[in-house]
């Protein structure tokens, strides 16, 4: 079957990250007494952020009784506040090279474009507003991790996008992302193509063990795969 919907991740896939998400995680955790290095945080990019925080606490808090829903929520609220402040105030917030033109080319070809993200809706909306993606008609649908019961690698966000787009068959969908959990999300959703990009948190060598259908260095290469 031909592809009718392509689902793209945000930070590291379509939006330039410059390691800011990792640094914001570090800052939020540090405020509560946890010093977590980049190499622990980076593999958790793409997860629902509350899940990522929980995973990090279980690695760095010896007393499991301290890992309470209240603590997790407090750290998450701090992360969200810092992330929104960054995206609102950053001098340069931009799409990755060829991202906007690729999404527009897909739409021109009659393929629907969805965006999903491990961010909550409040963070994602700041990014969308700053990039003026609604005004530019870059995408059709947006689903965020706080709008489904489970985030990645659960396929809930992709399934929700399929519902919004009226796509009956999973093999009419392609998923594009830059992390291990993006790949597993696409695989769990049954997507025909699961395309990994090397523009984010993972190198080609780090992506290969998860067996995406394709690994690309330039998001524009999506067009040659799905069209």
Distance in angstroms (rounded) separating the CA atoms of residues 227 and 159: 22
The more confidently predicted of residues 17 and 97 is 97
pLDDT at 44: 87
Give 44-61 pLDDT, tens digit per residue. Answer: 888 889 999 999 999 999
Angle ∠(166,119,200) on CA atoms, nearest 5: 95
Give 126-161 pLDDT, tens digit per residue. Answer: 999 999 999 999 999 999 999 999 999 999 999 999
Q: What percent of the chain has pLDDT over 90?
A: 89
Q: pTM to 2 decimals? A: 0.91
- Domains, the chain, in order of start with CATH, read 5-17+92-226 (3.40.50.1000), 20-89 (1.10.150.240)
pLDDT at 199: 95
């Amino acid at each position: 079957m031909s592809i009718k919907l392509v689902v793209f991740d945000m930070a590291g896939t379509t939006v330039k990250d410059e390691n800011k998400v990792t640094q914001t995680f570090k800052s939020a955790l540090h405020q509560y007494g946890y010093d977590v290095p980049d190499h622990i945080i980076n593999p958790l990019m793409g997860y629902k952020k509350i899940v990522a925080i929980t995973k990090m606490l279980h690695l760095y808090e010896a007393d499991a009784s301290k890992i309470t829903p209240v603590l997790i929520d407090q750290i998450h609220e701090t992360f969200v506040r810092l992330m929104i402040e960054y995206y609102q105030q950053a001098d340069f917030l931009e799409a990755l090279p060829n991202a906007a033109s690729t999404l527009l080319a897909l739409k021109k070809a009659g393929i629907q474009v969805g965006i999903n993200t491990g961010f909550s809706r409040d963070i994602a909306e700041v990014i969308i507003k700053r990039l003026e993606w609604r005004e530019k008609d870059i995408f059709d649908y947006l689903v965020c991790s706080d709008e489904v019961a489970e985030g990645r690698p659960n396929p809930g966000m992709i399934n929700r996008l399929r519902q919004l787009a009226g796509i009956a068959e999973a093999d009419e969908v392609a998923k594009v992302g830059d992390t291990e959990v993006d790949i597993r999300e696409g695989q769990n959703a049954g997507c025909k193509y699961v395309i990994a990009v090397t523009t984010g948190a993972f190198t080609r060598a780090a992506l290969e063990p998860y067996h995406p259908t394709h690994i690309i260095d330039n998001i524009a290469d999506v067009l040659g795969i799905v069209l």
